[in-house]
């Protein structure tokens, strides 16, 4: 006690002690309460620093008050508030594995169940450690008025006070630099709130979240129905009438959407040569479905994602809108906006049940909140799977286990249903346990590229197992199965190393090649049809929803879609990418450069100024589509417009907990697969060779375990 008294009687005594206490309890929460995935020296250093930087800045506010007693009380109040912020996040994280956001707190539907209903169940005995210092100082300040805990009463010089605040700002700047070095584009891409807290701290995250909410709110508040005019006119002119040959061929069927993580078009029918000169098809099953007579497949289909990556693909595929120019629409707008999404549209058109499946945490890309806004009835995230030990890799449950373990939920869904499966095994940097390796690695100087083919083969095997289950369970014939590559797998930086494997010269690889390789597979497999083919139509992910709706026999006229039905004879073969590049069958546009799409020959110098001006207008009109999409999202324009039959959007008022109870009470429960089988589960029909399912003595083929470039 004498040491504390001695410290507090010194200048900055309270400041130093309160800062230390704040750092201690925050650092304790980082390790005990939050699953931040800290690894490596750099991340550990950052974790030590980040509570200090914002703590210095916040507590230094008290130093600018002249009265010593007032300074003490303000500093104590600031410590109390930051402790409260920390603790409510601890309670929320224990239940939802996520951090509180402004949008959650400001939403009654979120606050009530999340913070109050089960608060006492979330409390632990050691929670006293977060409050013991607060209780001690409250006791001393309120009841021990003559306590010897009085700070030095000398006046602080303005220069000194400013210096302390500046020190906090410098620490924060250093923290930001370290974070940028270890995790580039952290704030612009905003993968997951866990990342921001890990790298920049809980206090910073809270301030950043409030700032983002404020920015979004200002743009949203300034909008009104008059802003719809240009967008509505564009959408009406952009509408492509359905092709009678394909309209309704999948009417009333279940919809099973599979996001093929990082799968690019060049993997279709691709054979990789091993070190012995033998060739091996990388994705034989996906390629067979791609070429099947029951599939409508597209060879010039481009991903149109940006910083939002997989979440952008979901925006494109389920809203027919583009993601944002910066960051993720899921992260930025998913909790607040009104969406005319596939789950809501199919529910209104055909009484579809909707469910999303993902073997990662629901907070990643803010999926839990966004899916509620999309109107998903159910979302099965990592909380509903066993993701322990060797069953998972960095981004979640391995694909073979993911599909297998999803069956117990899929069979419970009332039919018809709209379901989405988000795979993760074929995800950068493409690690894979040796027990799962059954394919040779490529032999380049880049291990990421080498292992890209190994994980793609594993993903293909998982997909085939899932198809086999669909057939044996009877779901196959009653469904349309939609598969799409969500975004590129090999980045522009690595593409020159990839070039020889795709028949290109690395020395000649340029922006044209970087653009053309953004093709990804898009397959709509409709069991029973025989008019499938591989189309050469130029299209993109924004076209997925109107194409699906027409296959289901649902009209799209009146919806504010940026995309068109790819199978329509009126489809416009112009593909805007999110970075502003535009691709047509004839031309590929960059800023001022124009390439021949087929040959890659630069064409700029071959046109007159008048011809260039005409072509640039063509490019700019395509880019205008991106601007219309930005208007819809950033101003939340869909709240002003509900096309028939979306007269009332579905509101999901629970946080995807106790979902099996919700399914049990569903009014159309009798239409589920398991009920149609008189309660007999179909899980035993699922056949997998995943070694994790067979016990420690079972293993995958070791044929290529010693191949160069395999992950250790």
What pLDDT, in 10s, does the model give residues 138-177? 887 776 555 444 555 555 566 777 888 898 899 999 999 9
- The pLDDT value given to residue 158: 67
- The pLDDT value given to residue 288: 98
Judge contact between 488 and 481, C-beta under 8 A: no
- The pLDDT value given to residue 270: 97
Mean pLDDT for the chain?
88
- pLDDT band of residue 218 (cuts 50, 70, 90) is confident
- The pLDDT value given to residue 712: 28
- Write the Ramachandran bin of 194: left for phi over 0, alpha for psi from -120 to 50, otherwise beta: alpha
What is the chain's Cα-based Rg?
A: 28
- The pLDDT value given to residue 108: 39
Please indicate whether residue 544 or residue 32 has the higher confidence score (pLDDT). Answer: 544
When pLDDT is averaged across residues 500-516 and rounded to a whole number, the result is 93
Q: Which two tokens stand for residue 96?
A: 């939802």
**Nearest Cα to Cα of residue 506 among 498, 515, 514:** 498
Number of neighbouring beta carbons within 10 Å of residue 620: 13
Please indicate whether residue 650 or residue 192 has the higher confidence score (pLDDT). Answer: 650
Please indicate whether residue 588 or residue 103 has the higher confidence score (pLDDT). Answer: 588
- The pLDDT value given to residue 147: 47
Q: Are strands 271-273 and 522-525 parallel, antiparallel or unpaired?
A: unpaired
In tens, the pLDDT along 56-91 reads 999 888 888 877 778 888 888 999 999 999 999 998
Please indicate whether residue 659 or residue 115 has the higher confidence score (pLDDT). Answer: 659
Was 427 annotated as part of a binding site? yes
- The pLDDT value given to residue 112: 36
Judge contact between 635 and 333, C-beta under 8 A: no
When pLDDT is averaged across residues 354-363 and rounded to a whole number, the result is 94
Please indicate whether residue 394 or residue 109 has the higher confidence score (pLDDT). Answer: 394
- The pLDDT value given to residue 149: 47
- Calpha distance 216→214 (Å, rounded): 5
Q: Where are the beta strands (DSSP E) in 446-521?
A: 479-485
- pLDDT band of residue 179 (cuts 50, 70, 90) is confident
- Calpha distance 396→2 (Å, rounded): 51
- pLDDT band of residue 584 (cuts 50, 70, 90) is very high
pLDDT at 704 over 50: no
Was 487 annotated as part of a binding site? yes
In tens, the pLDDT along 221-239 reads 889 899 999 999 999 999 9
CATH 3.40.50.300 fits 243-653, yes or no: no
In tens, the pLDDT along 20-54 reads 999 999 999 999 888 787 878 998 999 998 999 99
In tens, the pLDDT along 284-317 reads 999 999 999 999 999 999 999 988 899 999 999 9
Q: Which two tokens stand for residue 133?
A: 């210092």
In tens, the pLDDT along 428-437 reads 889 888 899 9
**Nearest Cα to Cα of residue 527 among 213, 249, 264, 300:** 249
Was 273 annotated as part of a binding site? no
- The answer to whether the Cα torsion of 633, 636, 640, 646 is positive or negative is positive
Please indicate whether residue 73 or residue 382 has the higher confidence score (pLDDT). Answer: 382
Q: Which of 306, 310, 341, 406 is catalytic?
A: 310
Q: Which two tokens stand for residue 556?
A: 């799209």
pLDDT at 9 over 60: no
- Calpha distance 429→304 (Å, rounded): 21
Q: Where are the domains of the chain?
A: 1-220, 243-653
When pLDDT is averaged across residues 647-673 and rounded to a whole number, the result is 91
**Nearest Cα to Cα of residue 661 among 421, 409, 416:** 409
Q: Is 609 exposed, middle or buried (0-12, 13-18, 19+ CB in 10 A)?
A: exposed
Judge contact between 179 and 200, C-beta under 8 A: yes
When pLDDT is averaged across residues 6-12 and rounded to a whole number, the result is 56
In tens, the pLDDT along 247-270 reads 999 999 999 999 999 999 999 999
In tens, the pLDDT along 99-149 reads 887 766 764 333 433 334 456 657 888 889 999 988 988 887 776 555 444
User: Long-range contact list for 316-319, CB < 8 A, 24+ apart?
Assistant: 316/540, 316/541, 316/542, 316/544, 316/563, 317/257, 317/342, 317/484, 317/541, 317/544, 317/545, 318/342, 318/343, 318/374, 318/420, 318/545, 319/545
Chain centre distance of CA 453: 23
- The pLDDT value given to residue 709: 34
- Calpha distance 227→426 (Å, rounded): 41
pLDDT at 614 over 50: yes
Q: Which two tokens stand for residue 584?
A: 């047509």
When pLDDT is averaged across residues 447-473 and rounded to a whole number, the result is 97
Q: Which residues contact 657 (CB under 8 A, 6 or more apart)?
A: 383
Q: How far apart are the first and last CA of the chain?
A: 53
310 a catalytic residue: yes
Was 604 annotated as part of a binding site? no
Which helix (H) or strand (E) segment holds residue 465: the answer is helix 447-473
Angle (CA) 676 680 682, round 5°: 90
């Amino acid at each position: 006690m004498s040491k504390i008294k001695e410290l507090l009687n010194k200048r900055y005594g309270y400041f130093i002690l309160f800062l230390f206490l704040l750092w201690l309890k925050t650092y304790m929460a980082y390790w005990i309460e939050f699953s931040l995935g800290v690894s490596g020296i750099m991340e550990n250093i950052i974790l030590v620093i980040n509570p200090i930087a914002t703590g210095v800045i916040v507590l230094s506010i008290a130093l600018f008050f002249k009265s010593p007693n007032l300074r003490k009380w303000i500093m104590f109040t600031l410590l109390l508030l930051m402790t409260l912020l920390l603790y409510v996040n601890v309670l929320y994280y224990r239940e939802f594995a996520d951090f509180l956001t402004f949008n959650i707190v400001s939403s009654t539907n979120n606050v009530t169940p999340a913070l109050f209903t089960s608060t006492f169940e979330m409390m632990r005995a050691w929670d006293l450690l977060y409050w013991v210092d607060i209780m001690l100082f409250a006791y001393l300040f309120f009841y021990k008025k003559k306590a010897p805990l009085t700070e030095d009463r000398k006046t602080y010089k303005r220069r000194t006070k400013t210096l302390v605040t500046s020190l906090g700002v410098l620490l924060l700047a250093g923290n930001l630099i370290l974070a940028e070095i270890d995790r580039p584009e952290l704030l612009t891409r905003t993968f997951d709130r866990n990342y921001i807290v890990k790298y920049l701290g809980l206090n910073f995250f809270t301030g950043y979240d409030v700032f983002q909410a404020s920015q979004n709110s200002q743009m949203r508040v300034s909008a009104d129905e008059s802003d719809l005019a240009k967008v509505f006119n564009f959408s009406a002119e952009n509408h492509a009438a359905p092709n009678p040959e394909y309209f309704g061929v999948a009417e009333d069927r279940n919809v099973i959407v599979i996001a093929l993580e990082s799968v690019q078009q060049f993997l279709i029918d691709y054979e990789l040569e091993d070190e012995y000169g033998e060739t091996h098809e990388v994705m034989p099953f996906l390629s067979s479905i791609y070429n099947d007579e029951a599939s409508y497949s597209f060879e010039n289909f481009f991903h149109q994602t940006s910083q939002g990556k997989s979440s952008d693909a979901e925006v494109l595929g389920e809203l027919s809108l583009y993601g944002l120019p910066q960051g993720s629409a899921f992260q930025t707008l998913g909790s607040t906006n009104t969406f005319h999404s596939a789950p809501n549209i199919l529910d209104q058109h055909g009484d579809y049940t909707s469910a999303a499946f993902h073997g990662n945490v629901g907070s990643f890309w803010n999926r839990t909140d966004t899916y509620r806004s999309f109107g998903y009835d159910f979302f099965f995230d990592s909380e509903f799977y066993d993701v322990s030990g060797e069953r998972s890799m960095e981004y979640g449950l391995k694909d073979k286990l993911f599909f297998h373990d999803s069956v117990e939920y899929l069979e419970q869904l009332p039919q018809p249903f709209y379901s989405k499966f988000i795979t993760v095994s074929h995800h950068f940097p493409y690690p894979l346990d040796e027990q799962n390796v059954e394919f040779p690695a490529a032999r380049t100087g880049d291990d990421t590229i080498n292992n890209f083919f190994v994980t793609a083969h594993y993903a293909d095997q998982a997909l085939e197992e899932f198809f086999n289950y669909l057939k044996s369970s009877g779901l196959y014939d009653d469904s349309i199965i939609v598969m799409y590559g969500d975004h590129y797998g090999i980045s522009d930086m690595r593409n020159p190393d990839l070039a020889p494997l795709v028949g290109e010269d690395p020395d000649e690889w340029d922006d044209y090649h970087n653009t053309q390789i953004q093709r990804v597979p898009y397959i709509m497999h409709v069991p029973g049809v025989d008019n499938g083919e591989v189309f050469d139509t130029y299209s993109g992910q924004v076209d997925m929803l109107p194409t699906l709706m027409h296959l289901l026999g649902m009209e799209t006229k009146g919806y504010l879609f940026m995309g068109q039905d790819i199978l329509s004879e009126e489809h416009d073969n112009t593909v805007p990418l999110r970075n502003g590049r535009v691709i047509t069958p004839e031309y590929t546009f960059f800023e001022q450069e124009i390439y021949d799409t087929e040959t890659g020959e630069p064409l700029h110098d071959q046109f007159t100024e008048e011809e260039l001006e005409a072509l640039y207008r063509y490019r700019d009109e395509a880019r205008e589509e991106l601007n219309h999409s930005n208007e819809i999202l950033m101003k939340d324009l869909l709240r002003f417009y509900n096309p028939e039959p979306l007269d009332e959007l579905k509101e999901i008022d629970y946080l995807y907990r106790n979902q099996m109870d919700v399914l049990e009470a569903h009014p159309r429960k009798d239409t589920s697969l398991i009920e149609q089988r008189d309660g007999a589960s179909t899980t035993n029909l699922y056949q997998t060779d995943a070694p994790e399912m067979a016990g420690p003595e079972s293993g995958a083929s070791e044929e290529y375990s010693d191949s160069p470039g395999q992950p250790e």
